[in-house]
Amino acid sequence: MEARLNPFGTELGPKFAKYLIGANRVLTDSTLPIATQELVKVRASQINGCSGCLDMHVKEAVVAGETPHRLALVAAWRDANVFTEAERAALELAEHGTRLADAGDGDDVWANASKYFDEEQLLALVCVIALINAFNRLNVITRQVGGDYEPGQHG
């Protein structure tokens, strides 16, 4: 498969990416655990079929301490016993926020997440979900190919 375009080979692409990457830095400095952030990014990227983001966030999750076993089970998190209740709530919110057209009002999903995360962490979680979905859409639409990412490559 070949990419439709190289966003970094344009004038606009690097400028836009700078702000998205900057937004991610704000989130990594939040109190929401990095491992939880990476699990959420992996799950949204699975749903959206974004190989570039999956490549990146599986590798970054390993750097953050995730095991290959848990990462292999993210797609089936509901039926796996390796995730904490807080992680399950985060994954559920990630699915809800990624599948907006099919998600309903999400009051039950929000109430569940609120049991495990304070307001600051909830906002960080919502922002992580929004940001990874933005990255997924950019990469899927332009058909970016995954496989060559090196952890820490984008700062």
What per-residue confidence (pLDDT) applies to 33? 95
Burial 67-93 (b: 16+ CB within 10 A, else e): eeebbeebeebeeeeebeebbbbbbbb
> Does 78 score more than 80 pLDDT?
yes
3-state secondary structure of 146: coil
Other Cβ atoms less than 10 A from the Cβ of 152: the count is: 9
At 28, the pLDDT band (50, 70, 90 cuts) reads very high
> Does 103 score more than 80 pLDDT?
no
- pTM exceeds 0.85 for this model: yes
At 149, the pLDDT band (50, 70, 90 cuts) reads confident
Tokens of residue 79, six digits: 């039926």
Q: How far apart are CA 22 and CA 8, in angstroms?
A: 16
Structural domains present in the chain:
32-141 (1.20.1290.10)
* Percent of the chain's residues with pLDDT above 70: 99
